[in-house]
Structure formats: C-alpha cells, structure tokens
Amino acid sequence: MPQTFAVTQAVELAVVERSGFVESRHAGSAIVLAPDGTVVRELGEPGALILPRSSLKPLQALACLTANAPLEGEQLAISTASHAGTDRHVAVVRDILATAGLGEEALGCPAAWPFDQATRDEMVRDHAEPARIRMTCSGKHAAMLLTCVVNGWDTATYLETSHPLQAHIRDVVERLSGERAAATAIDGCGAPVYAMTLAGLARAVSRVGTSSASSPFALHRHAGSLVRAVREHPWAIDGSGRADTVVIERLGVFAKFGAEGIMIMVAPDGTTVALKILDGSGRAATAVALRLLENVGALSSAEVADALALLPLSVQGGGRDVGTIRPTV
C-alpha cells in the first residue's frame, strides 16, 4: 500500500508551549528550493510520498488555463482557492458558473457550511442550509466545469479519474513535478488527488511560482498569470484574517495550504518551500514555512515577525495568552 514517511523519518518542525512548558511537538518533512530549482535544505524525508491535498489546486487551476478556460483576475484566483465561503467568494464562483451556463447544482463538491464564522452565523439566523457553493473548494469545481464546457466535455462526470479533464490535469501535474503519479486518491471535495513526493510537489510549485506572464511558452505564461492573480487578489484564495491571505498580503509570497499538514510557499524571489506535518495538523505549517524562508534569506526576520504576529499561534489559558505555537527549524 502506498504510504507517506514514517515517524522515524520525521524531524521536529514546531513545538507548542504552554506557560513555559513544551506541551506538544509537530514533526514532519520539508524541502527548500532556490529560485533556480536546486535544493537548499532538506529536513526529514522529502523523497517520501505525500498527498498534496489542496496544495495541488494551483496545478489543477493551471491545467484548466492550459485547456483554454477563460479565467482571469478574481475568477482565476478563486479557482486555486480554499476560500472561506463568504458572500463575496460565492459571487465570484457564481460568475464562473454563469459563464459556463451552469447552475450551482452542477457542482460536484459536497454541501458545506462556510469557514467564515460571521457568514455561517448569518446563514443560521436565516435558516439557510449548507450549500455546495459555500464549500471551500467550489471555486476549483466551477473552474473545472467551465473547462469542460469550453472543450465540449461531459459535465456530469467531470470528477471521474478517466474523464478527459482529469486526464489533462494529471498530465500537467506529472510534467511539472517530473514524476509519474504514484497513486490516485479522492480528495475531500470529491476530485482526484495524486500521490507524489514532497520534492516533486516543491519542483512543480517552484516552476509555477517562478514563471512569467510574459513568457513565450504557454504553460509558463499561464502559470505567471495564475500567480499574479493570487497576489493581486489574496482575499479570494482564503479569506480576511486567514493564514494564506495574511501572508500573501503582508509578504507577497505565493502560498497554499493543504489538508493534513501540507503547505507550499514561494517567496517573491522564487525561493520555494514545501512541507508536510506528519500528524496532519496544519496549525504550525504556515509559521514553519515562513521560518524556513527566513532562514535561507528569502524573507527578512522583521517581515516574518510581522506576519507571524497576525497568525493564530497563541495558546490560551483562562481567557488569556499563556503560550505559543513556535517553529523550531
């Protein structure tokens, strides 16, 4: 059975401190690539397989672009998002579906409550129900549906691994990662997700993050447009006050978390980090990625400290701060 790295192959990446006592430790693997793609640092076992989960979304969105999906600006940013499900996010997803001539019922993702608490509270007061369009991955699904319509592909079966869309996505993923997919799994939203090494994910993201929107090569030109859209519309990829949006706004990085402790991040100079926290918790992932970029000089200590202060890293006790979640790399 394909599987990720073992506990004995992991290294400590962060600790949780409570009142001066180290209460918990997060172990995992990580890899840092220079702007030219060479390995700068490895921790744990980055050659082991992982499921990238939502950190695969930039590659899925890029595949939609290369299959002629007419996406740009906010629509392109939300195509690679794990969004908070606010009314503003939903409006952009509806616009993509309208371009495709489809309704919300075409979305193959499950119905869900929004991550945004204020939006959820308002829905509860209005006696609303969980909805597919509120699901954090609805932007990706809308982009996939639009791609199908543009190409004349069946929309009812767009999530099947044998569908032309998914075959195209897999091809783009394998080209950018430089690896054949070691296994195919079904992500939480119902879309296929492909097993690859953490190093392969880093290579793919590095190639995307260092591409130019003015490149003479279509794949890199589309990748550059994707990164630019995310940096210009950071609210769309996550949500106000949420980790990916915060670090994109404050530091100009390209960041995308994934479930089960996955994080990818590309600094403005092209330095790239990919990491997996083995226990599946993502609470320290953003902080660890930022610290790794700081350690190799891709981000300054001052700007990293500024961003970390805005992340939910405090440990509470009796209604006040009594500790912190702290990277140890």
Placement of tokens 């930022």 in the chain: 290
Q: Which two tokens stand for residue 109?
A: 């993702």
Amino acid symbol at 36: D
Q: What DSSP designation does 55 have?
A: G
Query: How many whole angstroms separate alpha carbon 185 and alpha carbon 236?
Result: 26
Amino acid symbol at 144: M
Torsional class of 98: left (φ above 0), alpha (ψ -120 to 50), beta (otherwise): alpha
Partnered with residue 315 across adjacent β-strands are: 323
- Is residue 239 in some structural domain? yes
Q: How many domains does the chain have?
A: 1
The confidence score (pLDDT) of residue 213 equals 87
**Is 194 strand, coil or helix?**
strand
Query: How many whole angstroms separate alpha carbon 192 and alpha carbon 157?
Result: 12
The confidence score (pLDDT) of residue 310 equals 97
- Is residue 137 in some structural domain? yes
**H-helix or E-strand containing 27?**
strand 21-33
Query: pLDDT tens, 41-65?
Result: 999 999 999 999 999 999 999 999 9
For the chain, the helix, strand and coil percentages under 3-state DSSP, each to the nearest 5: 45, 20, 35
- Is residue 241 in some structural domain? yes
The confidence score (pLDDT) of residue 89 equals 98
Q: Which two tokens stand for residue 113?
A: 């409550």
- Is residue 54 in some structural domain? yes
- Is residue 34 in some structural domain? yes
- Is residue 147 in some structural domain? yes
**H-helix or E-strand containing 98?**
helix 87-100
Query: How many whole angstroms separate alpha carbon 163 and alpha carbon 319?
Result: 51
- Is residue 269 in some structural domain? yes
Q: 37: Cβ–Cβ under 8 A, 6 or more apart, which residues?
A: 203, 206, 207
CATH of the domain at 46: 3.40.710
Query: How many whole angstroms separate alpha carbon 142 and alpha carbon 108?
Result: 9
What's the whole-model pTM score? 0.96
Number of H helices, E strands in the chain: 12, 11
- Is residue 2 in some structural domain? no
**H-helix or E-strand containing 299?**
none
Q: 324: Cβ–Cβ under 8 A, 6 or more apart, which residues?
A: 16, 17, 313, 314, 315
The confidence score (pLDDT) of residue 1 equals 87
Partnered with residue 197 across adjacent β-strands are: 49
Nearest to 158 by CA among 175, 172, 143, 144: 144
Parent domain of 126: 7-327
Which sign, positive or negative, has the C-alpha torsion 270, 236, 196, 159?
A: negative
Give the chain's residues under pLDDT 50: none
